[in-house]
Amino acid sequence: MKAITTTNYIKKPFVLFLMVLTTFFVTAQEEEETTASKFTFSGSVDAYYRTNLGGLNKVIPQEDINGNTVGVISPSVPGTSFANRPGFALGMVNLIAGYEGEKVGFVADLVFGPRGEEAVFGSPVGSANIVNQLYVYWNVSDKVKLTLGNFNTFLGYEVISPSANFNYSTSYLFSYGPFSHAGLKADFDLGNDWSVMLAVMNATDLTDVNPFGNYTVGAQLGYSGQFLNLVYGPQGFGEVQDVNGNLVDTDIESLFQIDYTGGFDVSDSFFLGINASYQDTDGTGFTGVALYPQFTTSDHFAIGLRGEYFAETGFFGAIGGTDADGDANVIALTLTGSATIGDLMIKPELRLDSASEDVFLDGDLQPQGSLASFILAAVYSF
């Protein structure tokens, strides 16, 4: 999983943000309806219960010969982001404010809670780990839109907000692809359901600052809900200072990723989503594919399966264990139900991860290659 830098944040930014929002909407209500409709406020709140079936479900302290705690053994979890905490646990609060003018606008997307902290791990400078997205945009014409700031990635089928995903737990492809970017992107509507996006960005997930002085380029070609995505660029320092104080060029290999995301309405009640991705940095990376068949049984209930195959190369380290060649793979099957009660979604979920290596622990602390887990999540959207 992506390394997470945790920064403690205080309640003050949250309270200040709510005060600003309250001022916005009280003022907007007093203005004409056409003006008030330009402001938007939305978001979600989620929480869940998680347990392993036949796996370790508690933290076990490790002691030395003197009885001192020297470490802990943690419960087994899938090697993916979010929904990995045992027992009753919190997701996040997501607050999104926006303004849509005739030509210009902005989006301010803030997150609070464990899921939010993990989502913005690459943004420790200035944002106190609460800014998920923050960007302004300009509709240059009916066919061209420019966006500047921090925006969630255009790669992949899944997103950070649980309200926009069918499955509550996330895939390996989502967890090891980019989360967010900071930069300038241009969207072009080519007509006849064709679109193109071009972007210049900081290194992946560095959304507050660019310490490297290098830039990553991105591109997307879209047609009728199908998207081919590309990212390419160096992800580290190009020069370092040696012991003599001289600048020395370092050999930085650029990250390359190509990703397909799309889906098809097989019938009025059956949808099939697809995600396939390949990432490489000088022989280290991953390849994977995920299918998302989803069947809607009524206005209030749907059921879906995510079937994913994910393989890493060059000791990438995503799955948690590697063989002698530096490779490992996993097949993950996730069956999710989604019951809708007004603005609340209840999501029971069964998940089975089967890896090529013994990366999980059973209840007796013995290594095993598979892990079954159950999640019951509640997601409220507004």
Q: Which of 49-53, 151-155, 231-235, 324-328 has the lowest mean pLDDT?
A: 324-328
pLDDT in tens, 87-123: 999 999 999 999 999 899 999 999 999 999 898 877 6
Average pLDDT over residues 254-265: 96
Please state whether the predicted TM-score (pTM) of the whole model is above 0.75: yes
**Dihedral angle computed from the Cα positions of residues 75, 76, 81 and 84, in that order, rounded to the nearest 10 degrees:** -40
Amino acid present at 163: S
Residue 339, φ and ψ in degrees, nearest 5: -105, 130
C-alpha 83/C-alpha 77 separation (Å) is 9
Question: How many other CB atoms are found less than 10 A from the CB of residue 307?
Answer: 15
Q: What is the sign, positive or negative, of the torsion defined by CA atoms of 115, 116, 119, 123?
A: negative
Q: For residue 325, count CB atoms less than 10 angstroms from its CB and return exposed for 0-12, middle for 13-18, buried for 19 or more.
A: exposed
C-alpha 55/C-alpha 198 separation (Å) is 45
pLDDT in tens, 176-231: 999 999 999 999 999 999 999 999 999 998 888 888 889 999 999 999 999 999 99
pLDDT in tens, 117-150: 898 877 665 556 799 999 999 999 999 999 999 9
C-alpha 365/C-alpha 357 separation (Å) is 15
> In 3-state terms, the chain is what percent helix, strand and coil (to 5)?
10, 55, 35
Q: What is the sign, positive or negative, of the torsion defined by CA atoms of 339, 173, 216, 4?
A: positive
pLDDT in tens, 314-352: 889 888 776 777 889 999 999 999 999 999 999 999 999
